[in-house]
Each structure stands twice: as C-alpha cells, then as structure tokens.
Chains A and B, each alone.
Chain A
C-alpha cells in the first residue's frame, strides 16, 4: 500500500502539518483535494452565486434554503437591535451593582496612605465569594478612574504570574509600565536610562517610574490571593514594606473564601505588615435576578424567554456558580439561537408585506401548532370564513399576522405586569420568605401562577390588611396596575380615611380581630360559635373597599396571567427550547463519549436497515472493545480481552479474517481507551488491565 493511500485511510494529511506544533494556516492547493470534499465545494459556489450581501453575512437562509436574502438580513438586524438594547440594560445593572463597592474601594485607596496605617501597607480585602468576575470588573473600572485622574494605576496579578519572586517582581514592573505606556514604552523605559542597566526585577525601576509619573497610588491587586504560594506572598509583602517609603503601594486582595481563612495561611509576621479594610461584593444571585427581571418585564421587550429556558438558566447559575456575565451570555445565546434558526424571527422586525409574501413563510405560519389551536378556537366561535381565509389566502394571512403578533406581544407584557403586581402585593402580604420575580415568572410562563397557592394566599392575606398597609400597597400598585377601577378604589379609600383619620387604622371584616368567639353553655356542653363582631360603619365601608380591590385583583390576574403557550404565534416571540442552551453551556462530554462507544449507531445512522444492538464487527473497533470492557470486571486479562475481540470478527467474516489486521484494530482501540483514561496497566498480574471508569457513574 502506498504512503498516500495509507495516509488517506488514517485521515492524515500528506503535508505533515499534523506533526507541527503550531503553524499559520495556509489553505491547501485546491486541485489536489477537490475530490475530497464535494459537499463543501458546492456550498461555496452556491453562496458565491448569490449577491455579495448574502456572502457577507453569517445567517444561513432557512426554510430549506428558500428564505429570501432580505428576510435573512432582517433577522440578523433584528437580533442586533434587540440584543444591543438588552445588553445595555444589563451593563447598566452591573455598573449599578458595582457602584457601591467601587466608591468604597476608591475612597479607601485615596484616603489611606502608609502614614494613616502606622507604617503598614494599606490593604483592601475584597471578598467576592462565587462572584469571581465582579472583581475584574471592579479592578478595570478602578484602574480607569485612577488613570483618568492621574493619581496612579492598578496592576492585576494572578497566581499564574507568580511562580517565583524574581518573575513576580518582573511581571509587576512590566505590567505597571505597560499599563500606562504600552509595550514599546516598557522597552524604551528599560533602555533609555542613565547609569548602569538594571535587571528587570529591580524595584529601583519601579521607583524610577513612580517618580517620573508622579504616581500617588500604585494599587497592586492579587486577583486570586488564595492561589498564591504563602511563602512567596510573605516575601513579596515584606519587600513592599521596605520600599513603602519610596513607592506608594496599596495592596488589594481578592478573596473567595473568607478573610479568616486567608489570614490563617499567612505567618503572623506577614499579617502584621498589613493594615486595611474589608469590602464585600454582592453575591451573584441577586444580580442575576435583577438582570432577568429587567430583561423579561421591561415594557419594550419583544422576545421573551420561556419557562424551560428560564429554569435552565437558573439551574446553571446555581449549579455552576455562574457569574452575572456568564448568565447574560447564556441569555445572549438564547437570542442568537432564536434569530439564527427560527425563520419566524423575522416577524419581530415588523417587516412590510413584501418580505412576508414568501409562500414558504406563510406555510410555516400555517404549520404552527399555535395556528392550529387558534383556528380551532375560531371555528368554535363560528368564524369559519376567517379560518378559511387564513388557510387559503396568503394575502389575508400576511395582513392578519402582524396584528395578532402585536396583540399577543401586548398580552405577554401584560402578563409580566401582572407578575409585577403579584410581586408587589407579596411584599405586603408575605411576612417570612420573599418570593422573587424569577420564581414568579417561571410559574407565570408555565401558566400556573393564577391558580397557584402563592396567589391564593396572597389574596387571602390582602383581605386582612389594615387600611394603612392597604393604602401603601395601592400607592405602589398605582404605576403598575393600570385600570380606572383601581384609581376609584384608591380615591374612595382616601376619602374614607380622611373622615376617620384619628381612630387608627381600619380593619376589614376579614381580619381576625373582628371576629368574635362566643362561648355558651348549652345542656352542660360548651358550644363555641363564631360570629362577626359588630363592625363600625367605617369598618363596613372599608371592608367593602377591600372586597372591591380583591375582586379587581382576581379579575385582573385571571385575565392577564394566561398560558403563553396558548397564544397564537408564540413561536415567534417566545423562545422556549431547552436544548441548544443546556447542551451548549453545560455539556456532558463523558456521557457523549460513553454513548458513542456503547451504542455507536446512535451517531452513525446506518444506511442499511440492520438494527444492531449487539456487538458486531460492523461497529468501530473501539466501540466493540468498549462494550467488551463494560462487561468485564474490575480487572481485565488482556489476553482474554483480545480473544473476545477477535471472536467478534471471526464469527462475522466467514471467509476468514486476517488476525493481524484485527490485532492492529485491537491496538488502536486499546490505545484510545487508554487515552480516555478508562483503563490502565495493572501490576497485580501479568498482562492485566485495571478498569478505572464505570459507565454512568
């Protein structure tokens, strides 16, 4: 067999590029590999055939490739527009969250100096907990602030930068200089000095730099302080201490555990060098809740995340300690998926009818499950004519679709308003645990909120509120619950309260204080009977108002808290696919490999209709070996394994198979299993392997 043929069989390229460590990619000569990838060629030529525009953009025409170019472009633009809006919101929230800590740290850095710290190094201890990304955000903003006011700068050091003292110092000096002057500035700084050339780790360099720049504060931030070698940290800090009179260091330590634990790892002599303050960064969870709330309930939102997506998002956040950034990236990915893969995304762009007039798009709309439900409802209502038109007349459909889309988007907004209402009411009715908006949203998105116990309890509690609280509640609801009835109720309440302002808060008839228990003795038995206490006239009136409010709430909630899945065209404005998101951000690589090996035909869609559940020679060698391996015990005799492996091939190839060929397959499979770390050499017995992974564990 010639070398080229073998290389082809093994999937090796002939230019030996696979043996190079790193190289700059150059496309292969096309003539040679033309036969290899016909599918690709075709793709290139087909896109090149269309206009330039189509070639320049990322989105692929959907609807079996029949989607027209404007529509594709429109989807892309809509994505950009919607997401940039949302992203700005997220940025605002993050800045807002950080603002508190930032001002604290900034004022600490400005106000403290070695003099105020009794000659110790001023130190800011920032505990970040699981919210790791917040620190880098904080530091870059701090750096920006200090540089803009020309007070100094922030140097960020990671544990990876600090293998030993020399390198650490060198890194610090370089980072300080490049931070303001850039890389060239650093080179110049090193060379353009009078006197003898100093080594890269000489703090004299830094001293020089500080003098030249007039730096007042040099903040040295250790991002992951726990990961630094304590010995190194001690050396570093004592060195700083001795230079403190010449270089104005301020140390900022990022701590993920607790200050006590961190302190415990350092020698006391080292701790004694530090004097400082403790800052705490807000936990990621709150931040994530806020982001989610603003994304979903904002009145300008056009695309919502469904229940499945929401629960996946929150699952990931809590399971993997995701940072708010990671959370928003996932949301971003959801947006991306929606517009990339859903042709209906174009509807959100409020396109004119020329774009909508694609036959395929109309067909798509007609094939929606929600369209079907919608039509069934129409038929029940008796509007058969309308249904017929929608089914048969493209133009009518094009004309109607945007209307329904708008209406239903409005209903979604109303739904989230209702969630807001519930959330606000809960602030007054729930005493112990506060349910947050994201929980409520998940329930609302699955259409369960209006019948949930939360709402029932809320309504029951609302009945017992006294007039003061009710007044406050109504005040809060004013901006959210927009209905003339609510205003009327509030006005009535106001007038009522004015008439009896001095008698303290009014209680409604449902309040426990206004029921009276009577005890009577009848025929030597005690009978308890409850009855309404006599209510004052105002109380009766107040009860009346409460009744009206509760009725209003109930009507409002049942009206607005609909199941989004029932809305016509919800496919276009509600993204609710769990999968691209879950698999993309929380992959299960081990499961994937185990599955590929244990049931290879899940992946290799067999063209022949043989349904193979058992081991057979038709499967890839590694899969065969893996399945044999699965059946074995904790210790495997290689010889027997080889026999079993050979047996698989022997039985199927009647005309006799070359056992050396099978052996080479066996070798390949064995080496792959070893690379996966599922087997290793066992020294208990000769030629034995130890199993080191159990499928499914």
Chain B
C-alpha cells in the first residue's frame, strides 16, 4: 500500500509505464476496499481507463504463465532510469503498448475476458490473494466500451511521455530496462507482492514455472580489474561520512561497559552490518591505555579471522608467545589442542588477564565446527577475555548450546556501515559470483593468448575439452531446470568432464597417443590455470574450465577458425 501511494503521488508525471500500473492498482485497490484515496486525484483522465492495457495485462494475471506477447513488448520499452527503483521493483509496468498492435490487443482482451469468466467461475483460494479474481471481474464488467479505441490512448499516453523522458534523461539510454525478468513473474499480480508477509513472498517467488528474466548479459559491460576498482573507489565521496563517524563515536562510548563486562567474566561478541575492524583496533588501543594496573601493560592479541591461511594453532601459538614471552618452549606441538593445554597451564601462574580480539570469527577460514569448538575452549579458559566480531547474518548457528555455554558471550549490535575492505577481495568475489573465475588469467583473451603459444596438439586437446563441456552444458540445461537453485553446493562447481572420458576422446582424435603424453599436455593447462580439476564423490578426477559459457564458445570459435 505504501509503495502504491508513493508511486501514484510522485511518480506519475514522469514515468508512463508506471502510470499504467498505478491505474491498474488503483482500480484493483478500490475493489479491494483499499482505495488509495489520496492518489486518485493525481490521475488524469487518460489514466483512469487504460483499458487495452488492462486487458493486456489480465491474461497474465489470470493464468500466470503465458505472457508471451507481454514479455516481448516489455523488452522494447525504453529504460527509465529515473525511477530505477520503482521500475526495478515492479517489472509489470514497462508494458509498451507500442509493441502491441490494436488487433493483438483486441485479441488479448477477448481472451482475457474468456479467462476472466473462467476464473470467476472456478474460484479457488489462490486467486483470492493473487488478486486475479477481482481483476477478472473488473475486466468482465469494465472494458466493453473501451475496446475499440484500445490502441489510441495507449499510443497517446505512452509515446509522448516516452519522448519527453528520453530528452529529459539525455541521450544516454542504451539499455532497455524492459524485460525485468522476474518482472514477468510478478506481472501475474503486482499488487499482492508488495504486501505479502515474508513467507508468502517466499512461496510466491519460488513458484514453479519457467524463469522469466531478461536475456541481457554483462558481455557488453566491461568488468572491473583490481587496479581500476581501487582507483575508482578512491574517487568516491561517501555521502554518509559524518553519520558513520557519529555511529562509530557511539560505539566508543561503550568501551568502559565492555571492559566492565570483561571484568565480570563475560566474553563479548559484536555483530551488525559493516566492518568492525577499525572499532576493534580502537578498543585495543583503549584497553592499552586504560589498564587497571599502572605497572604492567595489558597483553592484547589481535586475530584477523578472514586471513586465508589462518589456523587455530597459529592463534594459540601467538597467545602462548604473548603470555610466556621468551619462556615459550621452542616446540609447541602440532595439534592445536596441545598448544591450548600448554597455554592453559601457563595461565595458571599468570595474573594479568589476556585479551584476545578476533575479527570476523565467522569468516570461512575459522567457520568449521572443529575450529569453533577449540575457540570455545579458549574462551572458557580463565583469564582469557575474548572479544569477537561476526559479520554474517546467521553466525549464531555456528554454536550449539554447549559451545554457547563455554563461549559465554554477551552480544552487542555494532553496526558501523564501514566497507569490508580488508576482509574481502571484492573483485575476486564478484568474479566468482558472476562465474568468471578465469578473470585472473585474463578470461577469454588470456586463454586465447596462451593457446596461441602452445603446440598444435595442445590446442586440439583444448578444443576437444571445450566441445565436450559445451555439449554437457547443453544437456545439463535441459535436465536441471527447476531444482537447480536449491542444490546448494552444485552452484559453486564447474561443469566438468571425467578424466578418463577426455583421454578416450583425445586418443580418438589422435591428440594424444599415451596417457603420459596426455598428462603432459594437461600439465601445461594447469600451469596457466586454464583448467580446473577436482575429485568427485566417487573419487574420479573431473576436469573443467574456469570460463563462462560465452567465453568457452568464443575460445572454441577462435580455435576452430584459427
């Protein structure tokens, strides 16, 4: 409701597509008894009856799945960046009438009416919240007189606006916003989505059915390299700088409180959005300057949990060195538990507490259950004061009750809004996310370059490998349509081909005559990070390529043509 109001209120003058939706929603809302009264006056006459559009949109709502013409038309709408959010939010609106010929519209209307009748006839419960029933009713009763002039108002209302918009926005409108993919799904019923409770929204968005997202890809958008990322980030001026600093200063005021909690035997866990590394540093400095005893300096050990190679043993070893100083034995033992026990016995003769500050305790290197159990034992050690920060939303699931008991945490919300600049390798992460792991070696171009320098045999082998992978991918697309998103771990893995199978293909193609030779060729690829290899559950070696499908096709093309 809220969104609806605001849409109607302030957006109608600029964005056409939205208007259509607004009108539709309004009538919808009115029927619902939720009429956004304030919004109505804003609408001029042409919006009140956007009949053809309504008609057009109905089929979608009614049967949800078949929305082909709409999607097409949707694809053609001009982008409206100004209202990016709205647009993004409700893909429904960019319904360009331009695409729909009057006859089509009429047809659509007719079938919409038919379907509406059917919907009204066989009411079911889903429809009630879907809003389709009301819509159906509306269509049945409302649009008879308007059908004839269907095309006209559409053209009127949309085109001038579109033009105006384009001039306003400047020339820079290269991308069509149109087929907001999920849009198509939402089209079915844009209204309920805004008001759905979380669980309903989940089921709504996860309904069975084909994926409806646009086919636009990032192939034309040049992606960032590490250098460019840092260079450009340096140019950005944070609009919330002051607020963030103020937030930070609020957290500062808690320092004495945290120290008190330490004194009373609690450990502390800080959570909330934003990097808390800086806060930790400052707290360390604060403890350093506010030690209760004036004679000794407090022992503080800092741990960065996000560091890739970090091990629990190294953490314990550092603490041992911090506690024992030069008395630490040269050999600490290989098992973390041994080091921990050494530490515990060393602490028995120690008086000053040792403060251990762990950044990102939920970072992947420390996340494993075994590591957390060891950290919990560290936390339960007397004289050890543990302050940890956790960045992910679901970190408490790392600890069961007995660990929670040992950890003895008090939790504080320390939202800082600071970027995770040290914690994450942003460019690398995004490349992985976008399935462009090969970025590091230069993606398609890099692979092509390497291949050029390799002998004929190697190129042929790579060609065979790519052909096989692409065939596999094609097969895969048919088989894993629905459930794919749920198969969590699978996403991370590349599609791969089994080692034996590839060898067989390679011998068939006379690329390699012996396994020895085959391996030598593969070794070359390995060295250039052009292939990935992993073991599957049954212990077979699976080979893959760290490229996206498009890139694979590109490389293959070059190979075949070259």
Contact = CB atoms under 8 A, between A and B. Distances in A.
B214 to A, nearest CB: 5
Given A25-B284, A333-B410, A638-B218, A631 B234 contact: no
Given A589-B390, A671-B430, A634 B485 contact: yes
Q: How extensive is the interface on chain B, given as a class?
A: 35 or more
Interface stretch (B194-202, B498-506, B536-544): B194-202
B234 to A, nearest CB: 4
A664 B314 contact: no
B255 to A, nearest CB: 8
B82 to A, nearest CB: 5
Interface stretch (B63-71, B114-122, B272-280, B518-526): B272-280
Nearest to B329: A187
B34 interface: no
A688 B484 CA distance: 13
A407 to B, nearest CB: 31
Given A160-B337, A585-B411, A689 B433 contact: yes
Contact of A671 (B266, B348, B392, B433): B433
B305 to A, nearest CB: 9
Interface in A13-67: 13, 17-25, 27-28, 37, 39-40, 43-44, 47, 55-60
A385 interface: no
Contacts of B185: 633
Contacts of A695: 198
A97 interface: no
A694 B198 contact: yes
Interface stretch (B38-46, B135-143, B243-251): B243-251
Interface in A152-200: 158-161, 163, 167, 171, 174-175, 178, 182-184
Contact of A590 (B284, B393, B492): B393
Interface in A663-697: 663-665, 667-668, 670-672, 674-691, 693-697
A27 B81 contact: no
A160 B88 contact: no
B180 A640 contact: yes
Contacts of B454: none
A160 B301 contact: no
A25 B288 contact: yes
B415 A603 contact: yes
Interface string B329-357: 00000010110011001101000000001
Interface in A617-653: 617-620, 622, 627-628, 631-648, 650-651
B166 interface: no
A587 B413 contact: yes
B110 interface: no
A605 interface: yes
B485 A326 contact: no
Given A633-B213, A644-B88, A6 B234 contact: yes
A642 to B, nearest CB: 7
Nearest to B373: A160
Nearest to A693: B393
B435 A651 contact: no
A237 interface: no
A273 interface: no
A21 B308 CA distance: 8
Interface stretch (B20-28, B257-265, B455-463): B257-265
Given A332-B264, A604-B243, A675 B424 contact: yes
B266 A333 contact: yes
Contact of B232 (A159, A603, A660): A660
Interface string A112-149: 00000000000000000010110000000000000000
A497 B158 CA distance: 100
A646 B174 CA distance: 12
Given A11-B277, A589-B395, A675-B392, A651 B217 contact: no
A685 B218 contact: no
A19 to B, nearest CB: 7
A691 B85 contact: no
Interface in B284-333: 284-286, 288-290, 292, 299-304, 307, 309-311, 314-315, 318, 321-322
Given A11-B418, A18-B304, A589-B271, A642 B221 contact: yes
Interface string B469-510: 000000000000100110010111000000000000000000
Nearest to A224: B402
A133 B421 contact: no
B478 to A, nearest CB: 12
A10 B256 contact: no
B300 A634 contact: no
B182 A635 contact: yes
Contacts of A642: 218, 221
A589 B433 CA distance: 24
A674 B175 CA distance: 25
Contact of B205 (A660, A668, A691): A691
A40 B252 contact: yes
A21 B243 CA distance: 31
Contacts of A640: 88, 177, 180-181, 213-214, 216
Contacts of A498: none
A451 interface: no
A653 to B, nearest CB: 10
Interface in B358-415: 370, 373-374, 377, 390-396, 401-402, 404-405, 408, 410-413, 415
Interface stretch (A458-466, A521-529, A558-566, A594-602): A594-602
A590 to B, nearest CB: 4
A635 B213 contact: yes
A24 B391 contact: no
A675 B234 contact: no
A651 B84 contact: yes
Contacts of A600: 240, 417
19 contacts: A1-B235, A13-B281, A20-B307, A171-B337, A174-B341, A183-B342, A336-B260, A593-B273, A604-B244, A627-B85, A637-B214, A643-B84, A650-B172, A651-B82, A660-B232, A671-B420, A675-B429, A687-B219, A688-B213
Interface of A: 1, 5-6, 9-13, 17-25, 27-28, 37, 39-40, 43-44, 47, 55-60, 130, 132-133, 158-161, 163, 167, 171, 174-175, 178, 182-184, 224, 320-323, 325-326, 329, 332-333, 336, 340, 583-585, 587, 589-590, 592-594, 596-597, 600, 603-607, 613-615, 617-620, 622, 627-628, 631-648, 650-651, 658, 660-661, 663-665, 667-668, 670-672, 674-691, 693-697
The 9 closest A-B CB pairs, nearest first, are A633-B182, A647-B84, A696-B198, A647-B81, A604-B243, A631-B89, A25-B300, A587-B411, A590-B393
Given A23-B302, A632-B182, A676-B391, 18 more contacts: A6-B230, A11-B275, A11-B421, A19-B304, A24-B300, A24-B301, A25-B301, A44-B290, A58-B260, A174-B338, A589-B390, A603-B247, A604-B243, A607-B242, A665-B233, A680-B491, A681-B432, A687-B435
